[in-house]
Amino acid sequence: MSTRPNPGQPALLRELNDRAALTLLLDAGPLTRNELATRTGLSKPTAAEIIRRLEAADLIRESGTQAGRRGPSAALYEADASQALAVAVDVQLVDVRSTVVDAAGRTHPTVSHRMSDAEMRSDAADIVGAAVARAADAAGIDPEDVTAVCVGVQASVDHTTDTLIFTDGLPGWPREQVAATLSGQLGLQVVVENDANLAAIAERNIGVGRTTTSFALMWMAEGLGMALDIDGRVHSGASGAAGEIGYLSAPVDAVHLDPDVQIVADLISERAIERLAVRHDVVPEDTSTWRDVLAAMPQLDERHPFLAALGERVGHNVLPALAVADPETVVLHGPTGTAGGPALAAATTRWLRTRTRWSTTVVAPGVPDAPVLHGARHVLIDIVRAALAARLSVIAETETGRAAGPAPGSSGVTLDERASP
Q: Are residues 219 and 341 in the same domain?
A: yes
Strand partners, 193: 152
CA–CA dist 215, 397 (Å, integer): 44
The verdict on residue 117 lying in a domain is yes
Q: Are residues 217 and 186 in the same domain?
A: no
Q: Are residues 126 and 172 in the same domain?
A: yes
Digit-coded pLDDT (tens) for 134-191: 999 999 999 999 999 999 999 999 999 999 999 878 999 999 999 999 999 999 999 9
Q: Are residues 355 and 224 in the same domain?
A: yes
Q: Are residues 67 and 135 in the same domain?
A: no
Cα dihedral 266→268→274→276 (10° resolution): 100
Q: Are residues 213 and 349 in the same domain?
A: yes
Digit-coded pLDDT (tens) for 280-312: 999 999 888 999 999 999 999 989 999 999 999
Q: Are residues 354 and 236 in the same domain?
A: yes
CB 379 within 8 A of CB 151: no
What's the number of domains the chain is made of?
3
CATH number for the domain spanning 22: value is 1.10.10.10
pLDDT value for 127 = 98
Strands 224-230 and 233-235: antiparallel
Domain boundary among 61, 80, 99: 80
Q: Are residues 146 and 173 in the same domain?
A: yes
Digit-coded pLDDT (tens) for 203-214: 999 999 999 999
Q: Are residues 178 and 222 in the same domain?
A: no
35 contact partners, CB below 8 Å, separation of at least 6: none
The verdict on residue 411 lying in a domain is no
pLDDT value for 402 = 54
CA–CA dist 209, 202 (Å, integer): 8
Domain of 24 in residue numbering reads as 10-80
The verdict on residue 281 lying in a domain is yes
Strands 95-102 and 85-91: antiparallel
CATH number for the domain spanning 122: value is 3.30.420.40
Q: Are residues 111 and 186 in the same domain?
A: yes
Q: What is the DSSP string of 214-258?
A: EEEEEEESSSEEEEEEETTEEE--SSS-TT-GGGSBPPGGGGGG-
Q: Which residues of the chain have pLDDT under 70?
A: 1-9, 68-69, 71, 395-421
The verdict on residue 296 lying in a domain is yes
CB 212 within 8 A of CB 328: yes
Digit-coded pLDDT (tens) for 245-260: 999 999 999 989 998 8
Q: Are residues 329 and 223 in the same domain?
A: yes
Q: Are residues 216 and 358 in the same domain?
A: yes
